[in-house]
Structure 1
């Protein structure tokens, strides 16, 4: 027995005795006023899992890493959960392989003699990195959210990927018309739509999930795609709009744009999971909003001259 209301020190640690009554002390701390301090000071992460941070199996704390590694030759080391460290090593491996197979070959891409200045090139690289990170941040967060709603990871992945692929494709198809006809900066317009829908989803999704909780899987799948469609439509616009703008000013930069975007997309799935482990999927979605907003700012300040001239020519 570790704890019950009214238990005394003399009633604990009697049979399967250990050096100290750790279970009793822990239960008393968690049920008392010092619970938060006990959780913060504990060698492992034992804060309760939530729908936003569903990693109930993660106990890793960076502060305990040195002590964990010092136990590697002891029997208890096999009982320590190392999944988080595997994720970190996966990120490092993906980074190295991406540099080798994605970024390094770009050194051999021929450049034009009238290449744009370095600030423009840097802006192009930064823009496509930001939207690559943001896109997968949203998709990873949505997959987790819809697992709760649909009750099955397979259904959630199918609904989210289907919704994003179909409706972001429609957004990409519409992007050239928006670029030619809209007086507002088209990327700023798309990012405004993305921001509004993401922020609204933080409030709207729980209400819809609760209202449709007892409905059939088919109805839930239809509702899921309907919830995803507006966001995916806007998310399909920033990439082709910027790609078209870059192709008109510096076509030799297109391989770089594609590659750094793919590089960021590969990294973002792992980084999003690491962030979700510590801060939750709401933070992942808010970071996606920040990345899209920064991308819109970069586009507005550095990549719009060609777009504006096209708009003037079209109107004249």
Structure 2
């Protein structure tokens, strides 16, 4: 739930006063030393149920099985014409891009596309709000992921004042009807919210800020995310309440551990689609501690 990043060099911000887990803290993103209170609590923040990441060898073994199934899924789409559309939402640094990358790694890029739109042009701002997203919907046989979507209007836009309260209210009212049209059209539609703990977000931002390879990802919007955590939380909770529906449910995935999150997202999609040659034993069963439907999994 954020706008596109720019590739400008990150600028110094100075120490920020923030509230974390009910405690007033000072966090200096420009200090190369990560505070102990972030490092020690990152993985278990937001009551994450595991105190260790999934072992790399277990992750790689499971991921390979799931990626093999995704190749089968794509072959089935080619022969059947079925269309798949998956929205990925979550706070900045929740792991949307990495999850999409793991999902699409062995899929044929000709028919497995990712959509990551920049801010609207002047022309797009004058159009029906959903119009620029619909233009990227899958045609027959396509597998399309959205790295952020029309749900910008449920998060970053109201928090940052990029839309009016009336536009936000109208969005929450109209979106379930819009998504009903998508499903009625026959598109296999998924909405994924990657849930991230506050200390883990701070750690990932800090890693970005001080990495010569990924500092381009860090932007002023990320600073806004740090200082407006509670505002984003309120918008997230309202979004899930108003747009979770029987025809277009939200799947919430705890993403403090990126490895577990990627596995559970892919597993969820594969279990939902009855494609030719599907191997449920290879796919495995979902971890209810990590993945759930809608607001039920949300604890903070």
Give 1 or 2 for the bigger CA radius of gyration. 1
Query: What TM-score, normalized by structure 2, do the two folds share?
Result: 0.27
Say which structure is richer in strand: 2
Say which structure is richer in helix: 1
